Amino acid sequence: MSGKDIKQKKKAAAKTAHKAPAHPAKKADAKGKPAPAKAKAAPAKAAPPAKAAPAAKSAPVKAAPAKPGALAKAVAPAPAKGGKGAAAAPAGAPGKPEKRKGSRKTATRRGDYPPGELLLPGGPNGPDEIQYLLRGCAAAERPAVEAGVTEILTKRALPESERGEWTRYAQGMAERFLTGTIENLLPIRPVQRRNFAGVVERAKHRRREIGAFLRGLDLGHTESGHMDSHGEDSLEKLMQWAARLENLAEADEPESADYAMFHRGLDQIENQTEALIVDVENTLRRLRDRVRPQRG
């Protein structure tokens, strides 16, 4: 080989030597360029989650106050829905009038009873019931002796000519109430039958006697709130005994029972209720004594 060839080869080698490092640099640049791109992409991807996280947390906070509104909307749709709401309203509307109609019927049934029928159905039937009626009229907060006599004549269909006789009898009850000591006036009972029918008859009779006394108080517009605590308690117990006697009169006959014991129990009930009636009379006398000086 000539010297020229050797020089050319050296130059070619030198050029190749100089160009070799340029390729790695370009590769390094090529490799380096994606690296920053990835670095930029990483923060770009991380940023959205960071922003999304507070948004997701804030959503429930805004939704919390909206819950009452949701409940209000849940209640509102029933009337707001056109067809269904309109159908629901008439369905509910008849329910209220039905209750009102029922109450009117109840009031009508109660109004069908003539005055005094609940306390003393049919009015006083015999001398014992008449006595208790006039005792109540005489002891009433506003004495109602004349009203009691009128009731006797009306309920028993008696002629007006007998008013004088019944008025004198009523005045005797009034004098008993106003003067002296108020004592028991328990009627003398005939011999009772020792069977269930005898017990029922006796219970009914005592229930009507108590009802007659209460009817007399009612005719005189007696108000228990004006009585002292002792008299008010006695009146309440008297009404309770009347209810028990009524329940006994309507009870079914037991298969076996000691009716002698039943009558002994009724003896005690009659004595106890008579004592309660006298307590009420004494209470109303004290009330009248208190009111009389104020009126004078």
pLDDT digits (tens, 9 = 90+) for 157-194: 999 999 999 999 999 999 999 998 999 999 998 888 88
Tell which wins on pLDDT, 7 or 97: 7
Look at residues 141, 292, 144 and name the one whose alpha carbon lies nearest to residue 228: 141
Q: What per-residue confidence (pLDDT) applies to 4?
A: 56
Distance, in Å, from the CA atom of 267 to the CA atom of 180, rounded to the nearest integer, reads: 27
Mean pLDDT of the chain: 74
Q: What per-residue confidence (pLDDT) applies to 15?
A: 56
**pTM summary value:** 0.62
Asked if residue 230 lies in contact with residue 276, where contact means CB atoms within 8 angstroms, the answer is no
Looking at the predicted structure, is the pLDDT value of residue 148 above 60?
A: yes
Would you state the CATH architecture of domain 127-295? Up-down Bundle (1.20)
